[in-house]
Structures are given as C-alpha cells and as structure tokens.
Amino acid sequence: MLKDDEIAACRAALLAERDGLAAEDMASADNRATVTLDQQSVGRLSRMDALQQQAMAQATARRRQGREARIAAALARIDEGEFGFCQDCGEEIGLKRLTLDPTLPTCVSCAQG
Ligand SMILES: [Zn+2]
C-alpha cells in the first residue's frame, strides 16, 4: 500500500505537471491560431512554413491534451482512493513505477500484456 505521504507526493507531481502543461498551452495558443499571413508580403514558402508550424503546434497541443486527460484521471483515482492499484487486475502498481509516471493506470505485467 502507498503511504499517505507517497500519495501526496504523486499528487503534487501531477498538479505541478498539469500547471506546466497549462502554461505551455497558453504560450503556444498563438501558434495554433489560423494562419492569416499576407501572401504578397511573405511569399509562398513562408506561408508553407507557417502552415507547417501551425500543424506541429496543433499536434503538440493534442498530445498535451491527452496527457492532461491522463493527469485528470490519476487525480480522480487519488480522490476515490483507487490510486496505486492496477485498473486491470487490482494489484498494487508499485511506488517506483508511479514515481516514474504517476499517471500510469496499470501494473507492469498488465502494461506488458
Ligand atoms: Zn495489473
């Protein structure tokens, strides 16, 4: 069983990562905005660069949203007292594994299976 302070440490890590992702999201919001460059002034290549950058920013944002969902799910498991137990088999996940990534919902053997 995880101790209360171990769960608290995981919770703190999850909250810190969530804050970091939210800050990144704010910082990159401009990059994902619709490309509205003036074709005549910037030329075709620059516009393609801008579109490519926008696509990359959107892909990064999608990854970030996926990570945020995993963090939210882990925080919910903490609130429900289910944190630290494998969602597939119910066994303990292990502190080492959770320290590595507190959003992991399954134990090592279920993750490998
Ligand atoms: Zn398992």
Flag whether the pTM goes above 0.95: no
85, β-bridge pairs: 92
Residue-wise pLDDT for 2-14, tens only, equals: 999 999 999 999 9
The sign of the CA dihedral 111, 16, 82, 76 is negative
Is the separation of the CB atoms in 105 and 87 below 8 Å? Answer: yes
Proportion of the chain above pLDDT 90, given as a percent: 70
Distance from the alpha carbon of residue 7 to the mean position of ligand 1, in angstroms: 19
Residue type, 27: A
Q: Rounded CA gap, 31 and 50, in Å?
A: 9
* For residues 48-76, average pLDDT: 93
Distance from the alpha carbon of residue 78 to the mean position of ligand 1, in angstroms: 17
| Residue 94 pLDDT > 60 | yes
Distance from the alpha carbon of residue 110 to the mean position of ligand 1, in angstroms: 4
